[in-house]
Amino acid sequence: EVQLVESGGGLVQPGGSLRLSCAASGFSFSSYWMHWVRQAPGKGLAWVSFINSDGSTTSHADSVKGRFTISRDNVKNTLYLQMSSLRVEDTAVYYCTRDLFSGMDVWGQGTTVTVFS
């Protein structure tokens, strides 16, 4: 079964850091581009970060640029999102997704990040 399982979310104060992980199984992880997408409470979807299959190319939304870093370990079949200098507005459910022709065809169940002051 194709599956993505996120972990690492939690409660953190503004200015703090968290590292999210996404464990992939059931498919050839190293062959796929991947994304992080977030959804603030009661709000819509927002693209956060992209990484290509070998990790050599990444990009981030302007709202997180310089604070978040996407990476991957193709041996461990795991995607990461290192988040630092967290702000209240980063509070959201964070989804790990698989890219298929720039459509996101597999989604994890999400992990919740809450930044509170």
Partner 1 sequence: QSALTQPPSASGSPGQSVTISCTGTSSDIGGYTYVSWYQQHPGKVPKLMISEVNRRPSGVPDRFSGSKSGNTASLTVSGLQAEDEADYYCSSYAGNNNYVFGTGTKVTVL
CA distance 4 to 63: 25
User: Which CB atom, from 16 or from 110, has the smaller least distance to partner 1?
Assistant: 110
Q: How far is the CB of 4 from partner 1 (least distance, A)?
A: 10
Q: How far is the CB of 21 from partner 1 (least distance, A)?
A: 17
Binding positions for partner 1, rule: CB under 8 A: 35, 37, 44-47, 50, 52, 57-59, 61-63, 95, 100-105, 107-110
Q: Which DSSP symbol is given to 90?
A: G
Identify the bridge partners of residue 113 per DSSP, sorted by sequence position.
10, 92
User: Which CB atom, from 47 or from 74, has the smaller least distance to partner 1?
Assistant: 47
Q: Which DSSP symbol is given to 26?
A: S
CA distance 34 to 103: 10
Q: How far is the CB of 9 from partner 1 (least distance, A)?
A: 15
